[in-house]
């Protein structure tokens, strides 16, 4: 190794080196500060450095011999450079501050070590390696010179390490003693942990690679050597398996990330529109994943068994199109309305047979149907809540709003994802505005505007919005009622418009109302973020109102259908009885063969479940159509027109009135959420709905990605999607709950149709569970259920739960209170600290008052304060004066504090520390170990 070269390296590293390892270990601030200081004094210490370097060189010369192993493995100088790098940093710091103290101690220690090593005889022993590896870890461990490195020893040596080395010296060097094995094991474990956490270390990657390599080599080398005899093999096997497992896990991770679709697409969108628009697409993707799982349940447990093992199409009445409809059953218009063949297919509830078990596997389809229907809700609930919990961990620990307004704005407002000039410009503008707004807020120069007018406008806006909400609800109710009238009429008499009125009106309302609200919201003149929340809330209310109006109207329809069903049921029963009576009287036998009627000709009920399913499917489809058409017309055609008509138009279309569309995040997200709500509600009555939704989301993903990239412009005010993920999730949870209600209600109260669906013939849908418990499970489980459903048991259980909720609530309130107290305390401590350090006019009213109560001393300022020192010195001292190492001059500090507090005349702020601490400027920049070291500990307030 050429020593010259290394010299260069050292110096180079030193020149640049300070920003290496901003934080090596725990005492980060202290370390950093010390380093910074050392750098400042570097010129003075050049000479010293040279000699140090020489020493290092010697040490380096030892290196190759000591780690021949390592040298083979990797390029040499990078290794050494790293080594040098970390060491020079370390040495710089340690030399400056504790060289003297260290010297004596290390002298002793190295003496010790040398003796031990001589005893051990072999130059390169395991211990040696351990040492090397240990010191590499960046915890400041001692570096040991073997022969003459006495003065190079650093002070710090972990106690564990030295004790292990002493135990080593007792044993002979070939066989490993128990303690040694333990130590080795520990180290191997440590290394492993290091490998696992290496990526989290803020080191240069080169260094990380080197350390990784070393750690791996170490582990490889010593892992096998551990354990004896039988244990050895087992250990080796375990190690091997662990390795395989890690490899497998990594491959699996790789596979998993490779499976996440649309990374690139979303990234493109993200770079153009910032994270808020991208958050919609990420949400969409998440939704797609959720629906895929739901579809998997539905498809695998309900649809496929019925298709494979159930009776084929046309075998029973519920599985065939009635004779009257057969002529038109294949027409496109009929199919498009989900009637005809669609209605009598596996897509809908009515198709499924009520046989208890089907096929050779004795698959219990009705039970499976019910469980999947409920399980979809259970699974969604679980996933949503888990995602929410995970998201909530991500956001910061929520300091109070306003504590860090400016610094947050400064350091976190730029969205690093932005990669599009236009978006960047918008972002710049919005950041500037937000800064200006904050400045205005800060100065609290509330413009003298007409507060009454604004209040009036806000009330007016809310009134208008309430009106339109009510209006839309009424409209839907009216339309649904009308559609019920239509449904009683003949199909042929109705136009397409009349048949699809409900869906159309709902979709149009969803299309028209949000922009209307936005326009009305202009009146209110809220801050955009507040406005967005309002907007979201209003659209949510609109959708919810519409959905529930729709549901109530649907319930009316269902009850009507139930009535007519009863009549039909009676009629069929009557006909059957008639037939049996006729048959038996005619042939004089009780052995009546089943009625020989073609399944298509049988009289059948309206099957309200299928009707509900069809309503939902139609709703989804029309929603889809409206959404896609509005994108096509509202965004694409508009963009084309604006783009190309601009050449021959009288005003600037691009900048002026029509302009390009913006991506409406709130509307899209809410649309997605409500769509999902309808899926949840409809899935029970229409198992095919989930599959349809998967398709829809897939198409949406591509279509909207394309649309947003090709015809939208970024928002003028690019806002961040911060925390909005959980906001979306919260809405989703609410919608999930709201859609759970009607489904559970129908399952629990309404009786299923008598001639269609998996529950036909039962009084209630959940009877299928009872039946299974009775017939298929051992009787004691049935008994357990009987006991468990006993009111005597349920009541205490409910009570217990209420108590638990109460208790948890109380506990969380207590925690909140404690949190608040702590925050308050921290704030107080901070204020106090600030006041003390800054020596400025107190911002804290209480402190101010207290200071006012300190009368006499403040009138006599220390004489040194008369002359104004240069400003940089002021800063120097302001930072340093009170921060003396507590151990060294604890008393002094207290005294100092008192003096500075007392010396402050609160009405006349003093910008610097009082006299006694003042040192000449040159001196202030010199290496002063005291303040420098005490600095880091100066963080928390000293009481």
Partner 1 sequence: MGNKQTIFTDEQLDAYQDCTFFTRKEILRLHGRYHELAPHLVPMDYTNDPDCKVPLALIVNMPELKENPFRNRIVESFSEDGMGNLSFNEFVDMFSVLSETAPRELKAIYAFKIYDYNVDNYLCKEDLEKTLNKLTKEELTPEEVVLVCEKAIEEADLDGDNKLSYADFENMITRAPDFLSTFHIRI
Which range binds partner 1 by CB under 8 A, 24-32, 586-594, 705-713, 793-801? 24-32
Choosing from 71, 206, 481, 533, the residue that interacts with partner 1 (CB under 8 A) is: 206
Give me the sign of the Cα torsion angle 215, 221, 222, 226: positive
195 binds partner 1 (CB under 8 A): yes
Tokens of 386: 């888990």
Choosing from 51, 174, 175, 407, the residue that interacts with partner 1 (CB under 8 A) is: 407
Q: What share of the chain is helix, strand, coil (3-state, %, to 5)?
A: 75, 0, 25
836 binds partner 1 (CB under 8 A): yes
820 binds partner 1 (CB under 8 A): no
833 binds partner 1 (CB under 8 A): yes
- Listed in sequence order, the residues at least 6 apart from 752 whose beta carbon sits closer than 8 Å to its beta carbon are 609, 759, 760, 762, 764, 765
Q: How many residues bind partner 1 (CB under 8 A)?
A: 91
Shortest distance (Å) from residue 334 CB to partner 1: 47
442 binds partner 1 (CB under 8 A): yes
Shortest distance (Å) from residue 611 CB to partner 1: 45
Choosing from 193, 390, 436, 824, the residue that interacts with partner 1 (CB under 8 A) is: 436
Shortest distance (Å) from residue 918 CB to partner 1: 16
Q: Helix 608-630 and helix 501-522: axis angle, to 10°?
A: 50
Shortest distance (Å) from residue 212 CB to partner 1: 5
Q: Which is nearer to partner 1, 147 or 444 (CB)?
A: 444
Q: By the 8 A CB rule, do 544 and 732 touch?
A: no
Shortest distance (Å) from residue 419 CB to partner 1: 5
Residues in the chain, overall count: 943
Q: By the 8 A CB rule, do 758 and 365 touch?
A: yes
304 binds partner 1 (CB under 8 A): no
Instruction: For the segment 413-432, give every residue that binds partner 1 (CB under 8 A).
Output: 413-421, 423-424, 428, 431-432
Q: Which is nearer to partner 1, 20 or 765 (CB)?
A: 20
Q: By the 8 A CB rule, do 215 and 129 touch?
A: no
Shortest distance (Å) from residue 842 CB to partner 1: 12
Q: Which is nearer to partner 1, 339 or 880 (CB)?
A: 880
* Whole-number Å distance between alpha carbons of 388 and 381: 11
Choosing from 51, 174, 175, 200, the residue that interacts with partner 1 (CB under 8 A) is: 200
Choosing from 68, 300, 537, 723, the residue that interacts with partner 1 (CB under 8 A) is: 723
Q: Which is nearer to partner 1, 159 or 940 (CB)?
A: 940
Which range binds partner 1 by CB under 8 A, 202-210, 474-482, 583-591, 602-610? 202-210
How many Cβ atoms are within 10 Å of 365's Cβ, its own excluded? 23
Of 760, 685, 772, 825, nearest to 346 by C-alpha is 685
> 506 - beta bridge partners?
none
Per-residue binding string, partner 1, 878-907, x by CB under 8 A, is xxx--x------------------------
722 binds partner 1 (CB under 8 A): yes
Q: Which is nearer to partner 1, 319 or 918 (CB)?
A: 918
Shortest distance (Å) from residue 272 CB to partner 1: 10
Shortest distance (Å) from residue 229 CB to partner 1: 32
Shortest distance (Å) from residue 874 CB to partner 1: 9
Q: Which is nearer to partner 1, 435 or 552 (CB)?
A: 435
Q: By the 8 A CB rule, do 707 and 277 touch?
A: no
* Whole-number Å distance between alpha carbons of 711 and 703: 12
Which DSSP category does 634 fall into?
A: I
Q: By the 8 A CB rule, do 321 and 411 touch?
A: no
Which DSSP category does 299 fall into?
A: I
Shortest distance (Å) from residue 498 CB to partner 1: 49
Q: Which is nearer to partner 1, 133 or 423 (CB)?
A: 423
Helix (H, G, I), strand (E, B) or coil at 589: coil
Terminal alpha carbon distance of the chain:
54
Shortest distance (Å) from residue 473 CB to partner 1: 36
Q: CA angle at residue 568 from 562 to 574, to 5 degrees?
A: 140
Shortest distance (Å) from residue 102 CB to partner 1: 24
398 binds partner 1 (CB under 8 A): yes
Helix (H, G, I), strand (E, B) or coil at 470: helix
939 binds partner 1 (CB under 8 A): yes
925 binds partner 1 (CB under 8 A): no
Choosing from 68, 296, 314, 395, the residue that interacts with partner 1 (CB under 8 A) is: 395
Per-residue binding string, partner 1, 35-54, x by CB under 8 A, is xx------------------
Tokens of 44: 């003075």
> 600 - beta bridge partners?
none
Instruction: For the segment 847-876, give every residue that binds partner 1 (CB under 8 A).
Output: 875
How many Cβ atoms are within 10 Å of 823's Cβ, its own excluded? 14
* Whole-number Å distance between alpha carbons of 106 and 320: 94
Helix (H, G, I), strand (E, B) or coil at 325: helix
Which range binds partner 1 by CB under 8 A, 62-70, 195-203, 374-382, 555-563? 195-203
Which range binds partner 1 by CB under 8 A, 323-331, 487-495, 574-582, 835-843? 835-843
- Listed in sequence order, the residues at least 6 apart from 461 whose beta carbon sits closer than 8 Å to its beta carbon are 520, 521, 523, 524
208 binds partner 1 (CB under 8 A): yes
Shortest distance (Å) from residue 734 CB to partner 1: 22
Q: Which is nearer to partner 1, 12 or 323 (CB)?
A: 12
Which DSSP category does 618 fall into?
A: H
Shortest distance (Å) from residue 909 CB to partner 1: 13
* Whole-number Å distance between alpha carbons of 815 and 809: 10
How many Cβ atoms are within 10 Å of 843's Cβ, its own excluded? 11
Q: Which is nearer to partner 1, 21 or 306 (CB)?
A: 21
**How much is the CA Rg of the chain, to the nearest whole Å?**
39
Q: By the 8 A CB rule, do 923 and 876 touch?
A: no
Q: Which is nearer to partner 1, 261 or 723 (CB)?
A: 723
18 binds partner 1 (CB under 8 A): yes
The pair phi, psi for residue 477, each rounded to 5°, is -60, -45
> 713 - beta bridge partners?
662
Tokens of 558: 């269902």
* Whole-number Å distance between alpha carbons of 176 and 223: 13
Q: Which is nearer to partner 1, 146 or 267 (CB)?
A: 267
* Whole-number Å distance between alpha carbons of 755 and 564: 13
405 binds partner 1 (CB under 8 A): yes
209 binds partner 1 (CB under 8 A): yes
10 binds partner 1 (CB under 8 A): no
Q: Which is nearer to partner 1, 199 or 230 (CB)?
A: 199
Instruction: For the segment 230-289, give every residue that binds partner 1 (CB under 8 A).
Output: 250, 253-254, 257-258, 263, 266-267, 270-271, 275
392 binds partner 1 (CB under 8 A): no
Give me the sign of the Cα torsion angle 372, 375, 380, 383: negative
22 binds partner 1 (CB under 8 A): yes
Q: Which is nearer to partner 1, 205 or 860 (CB)?
A: 205
Choosing from 46, 830, 891, 894, the residue that interacts with partner 1 (CB under 8 A) is: 830
DSSP 778-813: -HHHHHHHHHHT-HHHHHHHHHHHHHHHHHHHHHHH
Instruction: For the segment 75-94, give every residue that binds partner 1 (CB under 8 A).
Output: 75
């Amino acid at each position: 190794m050429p020593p010259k070269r290394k010299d260069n390296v050292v110096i180079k590293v030193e020149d640049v080196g300070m920003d290496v390892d901003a934080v090596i270990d725990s005492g980060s601030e202290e370390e950093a500060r010390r380093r910074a200081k050392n750098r400042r004094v570097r010129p003075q210490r050049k000479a010293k450095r040279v000699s140090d370097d020489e020493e290092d060189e010697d040490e380096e010369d030892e290196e190759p011999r000591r780690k021949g192993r390592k040298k083979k493995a990797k390029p040499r100088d990078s290794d050494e450079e790293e080594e040098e790098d970390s060491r020079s940093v370390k040495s710089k710091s340690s030399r400056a501050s504790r060289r003297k103290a260290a010297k004596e101690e290390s002298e002793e220690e190295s003496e010790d070590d040398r003796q031990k090593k001589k005893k051990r005889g072999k130059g390169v022993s395991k211990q040696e390696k351990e040492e090397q590896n240990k010191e590499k870890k960046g915890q400041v461990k001692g570096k040991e010179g073997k022969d003459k490195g006495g003065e190079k020893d650093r002070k710090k040596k972990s106690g564990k390490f030295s004790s292990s080395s002493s135990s080593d010296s007792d044993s002979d060097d070939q066989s490993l003693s128990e303690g040694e094995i333990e130590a080795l094991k520990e180290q191997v474990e440590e290394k492993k942990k290091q490998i696992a956490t290496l990526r989290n270390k803020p080191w240069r990657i080169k260094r990380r690679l080197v350390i990784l390599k070393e750690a791996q080599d170490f582990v490889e080398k010593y892992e096998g050597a551990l354990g004896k005899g039988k244990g050895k093999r087992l250990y080796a096997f375990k190690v091997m398996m662990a390795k395989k497992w890690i490899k497998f896990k990594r491959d699996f991770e790789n596979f998993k990330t490779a499976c996440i679709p649309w990374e690139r697409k979303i990234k493109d969108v993200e770079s153009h529109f910032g994270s808020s628009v991208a958050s919609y697409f990420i949400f969409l993707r998440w939704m797609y994943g959720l629906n895929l799982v739901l579809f998997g349940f539905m498809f695998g447990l309900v649809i496929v068994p019925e298709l494979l093992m159930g009776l084929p199409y046309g075998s029973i009445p519920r599985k065939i199109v009635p004779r009257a409809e057969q002529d038109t059953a294949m027409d496109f218009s009929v199919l498009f309305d989900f009637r005809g063949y669609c209605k009598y297919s596996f897509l809908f509830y009515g198709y499924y047979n009520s046989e208890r078990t089907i096929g050779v596997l004795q698959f219990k389809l009705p039970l499976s149907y019910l469980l999947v229907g409920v399980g979809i809700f259970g699974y969604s609930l679980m996933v949503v809540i888990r995602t929410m919990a995970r998201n909530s961990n991500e956001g910061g620990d929520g300091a109070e709003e306003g504590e860090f307004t400016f610094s947050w704005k400064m350091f976190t407002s730029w969205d690093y994802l932005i990669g599009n000039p236009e978006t960047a410009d918008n972002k710049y503008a919005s950041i500037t505005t937000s800064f200006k707004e904050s400045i205005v807020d800060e100065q609290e120069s509330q413009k003298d505007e007409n507060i009454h007018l604004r209040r009036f406008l806000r009330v007016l806006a809310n009134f208008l919005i309430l009106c339109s909400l009510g209006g839309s609800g009424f409209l839907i109710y009216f339309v649904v009622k009308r559609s019920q009238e239509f449904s009683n009429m003949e199909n042929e008499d109705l136009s397409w418009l009349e048949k699809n009125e409900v869906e159309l009106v709902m979709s149009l309302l969803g299309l028209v109302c949000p922009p209307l609200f936005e326009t009305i919201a202009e009146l209110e003149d809220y801050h955009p973020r507040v406005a967005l929340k309002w907007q979201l809330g209003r659209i949510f209310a609109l959708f919810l109102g519409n959905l529930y109006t729709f549901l109530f109207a649907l319930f009316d329809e269902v009850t009507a259908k139930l009535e007519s069903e009863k009549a039909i049921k009676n009629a069929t029963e009557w006909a059957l009885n008639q037939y049996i009576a006729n048959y038996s009287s005619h042939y004089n036998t009780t052995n009546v063969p089943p009625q020989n009627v073609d399944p298509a000709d049988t009289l059948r009920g309206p099957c309200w479940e299928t009707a509900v399913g069809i309503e939902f499917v139609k709703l989804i489809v029309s929603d889809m159509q409206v959404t896609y058409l509005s994108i096509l017309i509202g965004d694409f055609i508009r963009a084309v027109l604006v783009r190309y008509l601009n050449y021959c138009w009288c005003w600037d279309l691009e900048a002026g009135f029509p302009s390009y569309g913006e991506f409406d995040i709130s509307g899209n997200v809410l649309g997605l959420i409500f769509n999902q709500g309808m899926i949840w509600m409809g899935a029970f009555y229409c198992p095919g709905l989930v599959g349809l939704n998967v398709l829809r989301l897939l198409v949406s993903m591509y279509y909207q990605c394309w649309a947003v990239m090709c015809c939208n412009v970024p928002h003028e005010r690019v806002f961040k999607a911060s925390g909005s993920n959980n906001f979306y999730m919260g809405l989703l949870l609410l919608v999930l709950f709201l859609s759970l209600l009607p489904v559970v209600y129908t399952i629990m109260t309404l009786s299923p149709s008598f001639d269609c669906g998996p529950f036909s013939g039962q009084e209630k849908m959940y009877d299928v569970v009872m039946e299974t418990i009775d017939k298929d499970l051992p009787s004691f489980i049935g008994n357990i259920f009987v006991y468990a459903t006993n009111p005597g048991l349920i009541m205490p259980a409910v009570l217990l739960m209420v108590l638990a909720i109460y208790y948890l609530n109380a506990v969380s309130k207590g925690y909140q209170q404690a949190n608040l107290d702590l925050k308050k305390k921290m704030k107080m401590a901070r204020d106090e600290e600030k006041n003390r350090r800054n020596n400025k006019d107190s911002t804290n009213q209480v402190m101010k008052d207290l200071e006012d109560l300190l009368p006499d001393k403040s009138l006599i300022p220390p004489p040194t304060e008369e002359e104004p020192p240069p400003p940089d010195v002021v800063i120097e001292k302001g930072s340093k004066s009170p921060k003396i190492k507590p151990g060294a001059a604890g008393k002094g500090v207290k005294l100092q504090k008192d003096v500075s507090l007392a010396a402050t005349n609160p009405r006349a702020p003093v910008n610097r520390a009082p006299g006694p601490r003042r040192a000449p400027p040159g001196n202030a920049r010199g290496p002063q170990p005291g303040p420098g070291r005490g600095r880091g500990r100066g963080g928390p307030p000293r009481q």
